[in-house]
A and B are shown apart, each in its own frame.
Chain A
Amino acid sequence: MTLLRSNTPAQAMPSANASAGAGRGAASMKMLLITVLGWTVALVIFFPILWMILTGFKTEAAAIADPSFIFSPTLESYEAVQARSGYARFALNSVAVAFGSTFLALLIAIPSAYSMAFLPTRRTKGTLLWMLSTKMLPPVGVLVPIYLIFRDVGLLDTRTGLIIIYTLMNLPIVVWMLYTFFKDMPKDILEAGRMDGASTLQEVFFLLLPLTLPGIASTGLLSVILSWNEAFWSLNLTSSKAAPLTAYIASFSSPEGLFWAKLSAASTMAIAPILILGWMTQKQMVRGLTFGAVK
């Protein structure tokens, strides 16, 4: 029982007593077990992604052969994807849409979050919650009107159209996240700036923004990630011209052609940047994704 109790060796050490030797042995045994279990679980979960990355470096023949980790890597699928399908065009659409909508959302959200954090009124809390509730509207519930409006004003299959949708889609999360970051900032600094005669604009540009830059950056990154991976509006509102990577990858689902190596190469390129951004911002992401309900 004593052995089971010690959670980690670090905790077992201080309480070491007469049975220290035996306790240490069992603790390291348990440690080994947890290490093996932890890594096995992580690798099983990650396996499909790993397999996709490997398949991208295989030939089409090797991609559908019996699964194997040993093969001679080739870049031919990457070259084929670049040359034949115009991958760059879709990637450019993704970049334009993700960063365009993020820039717009930040621009609109910063003043709003500033006033909520520093000039709160009785209505601030209500406004924040109402913004959050607009996020609960299922996209499919408003698909028909958005599609018809876009058709009538010529926004179907345009980057501008997607940028508008994504800006509005992410606006509540962006306001919410910025609000929590701004609120954490000590008020005295802004107060001091005001004493020295700074105008609101100066206050925002020279004090608030530089001081909360890490928070603003992670808010922006979350918005980029969400827009990049969005696959309901992009599939329904774009076809050829403005299609981002989500829609381009979907085109691999058609006929029974087994272009797994090309699919894998294209997919790897499509997810790599976001995977890395996601790894970097996982902590702040929790704040944004749960609206501050989990800290």
Chain B
Amino acid sequence: MTKTRASGRTVGGLRTLSLQAPAVTLLLLWMIIPLGMTIWFSFQYYNLLMPGMSGFAGVENYEYLLTDPALWKAMGNTLLLVGWVLAITVVGGTLLAVLFQQDFAGRGIARVLAISPFFVMPTVSALVWKNMMMHPSNGVLAWLANSLGLPAVDWFSALPLTSIVIIVAWQWLPFALLILLTAMQSLDEDQVEAARMDGAGPIAIFFFITLPHLKRAISVVIMIEMIFLLTIFAEIFVTTSGGPGLATTNLAYLIYMRALLDFDVGVASAGGVIAIILANIVAIFLVRMVAKNLED
């Protein structure tokens, strides 16, 4: 027994190596080369519009970026966007998961309709909301407000960041719902029944049984959303282009502006490094949680 195992392992090791080599090599290159270049550029003078100027810049790009009020505005917007969307999608997703867990007529179809926005490409969602929903004179919301005798809101001028939050939350609420609904299915019905026998009301059951059961799924939702929401781009690109002023410029959009509109590779790369650091802080927790799950 031990013999076959020992010999099998060397053979296995060799085979493992050759079978995994393509995937591992490609991902290694995909990670190291751009990452290395971003870090390298961030310490260089490098502007595509000024070919003459080059060389080691030390921390000057970082200094420039960190003293630029636009960065702090963008960081603030990023945090507001992530924070609000998380709050809406996690609270809303949990409540909706409880609702769609109940048995009712046509539940299957209702569920499918409710998770649909997640499968809509970001450029479509953003433009449908911007034009058909939020347009100040012809949009559905303006018509609704008018028919209720209220003044129509000019969403993207008056409440630019709120508008973006609404669009992004609409896209990600279904994601939270989908994950939490799946997690809900492993809820122990006997436990709920036992609690009910002991006289627990629906609210007590929600707070003392359902919510603790969903704890892990909720943290997974929070972390995955955070990683994606930190670098929301397309929704801003097609609706406000970061404006008015810098009202809807987040970190990703600022880096895009510095890189592909100002062609300042050095400063954009320094911004990229900051974005990577922020994402990694979240990622560490997520990877740790997945690792724990892999063990059981």
Where the two chains meet, the residues of A that have a C-beta atom closer than 8 Å to any C-beta of B are 1, 4-5, 7-8, 10-11, 31, 34-35, 37-39, 41-43, 45-46, 48-49, 51-52, 55, 63-67, 108-109, 111-112, 114-116, 119, 121, 124-125, 127-129, 131-134, 136-149, 168, 171-172, 175, 200, 225, 228-229, 231-232, 235-236, 245-247, 249-250, 252-253, 258, 260, 263-264, 267, 270-271, 274-275, 277-279, 282-283, 285-286, 289-295
Contacts and interface: CB of A to CB of B under 8 A. Distances in A.
A285 B119 CA distance: 11
B289 A293 contact: yes
Nearest to A123: B16
B242 interface: no
Given A125-B294, A229-B119, A289-B224, A116 B20 contact: yes
A3 to B, nearest CB: 11
A241 to B, nearest CB: 18
B246 interface: no
Contacts of A42: 109-111, 113-114
A228 B231 contact: no
Contact of B140 (A67, A200, A277): A67
Given A142-B38, A147-B259, A51 B124 contact: no
B260 interface: yes
Interface stretch (B49-57, B63-71, B167-175): B167-175
A271 B19 contact: no
Contacts of A149: 33-34, 37
Contact of B123 (A7, A140, A250, A258): A250
A228 B258 CA distance: 27
Interface in B163-218: 170, 173-175, 178-179, 182-183, 186, 192-193, 196, 199, 201-202, 216-217
Contact of B23 (A49, A112, A145): A112
Ranked nearest first, the 8 interchain pairs of A and B with the lowest CB-CB distance are A278-B119, A145-B37, A136-B283, A142-B34, A231-B234, A42-B110, A115-B19, A112-B23
Given A249-B123, A270-B124, A45 B114 contact: yes
B155 interface: no
A54 B292 CA distance: 47
B279 A141 contact: yes
Given A132-B290, A145-B33, A295-B186, A235 B276 contact: no
B272 A142 contact: yes
Q: Which among A131, A140, A148, A270 has the greatest number of chain B C-beta atoms within 10 A? A: A140
B121 A245 contact: yes
Given A132-B287, A247-B123, 9 more contacts: A1-B201, A38-B107, A42-B111, A48-B132, A134-B27, A142-B38, A232-B234, A258-B131, A294-B182
Contacts of A278: 115-116, 118-119
B119 A271 contact: yes
A171 B24 CA distance: 10
Nearest to A267: B124
Contacts of B291: 125, 129
Contact of A144 (B15, B38, B122): B38
B19 A111 contact: yes
B229 to A, nearest CB: 11
A286 B113 contact: no
B105 interface: yes
A114 B109 CA distance: 36
Interface string B235-257: 00111000000000001100110
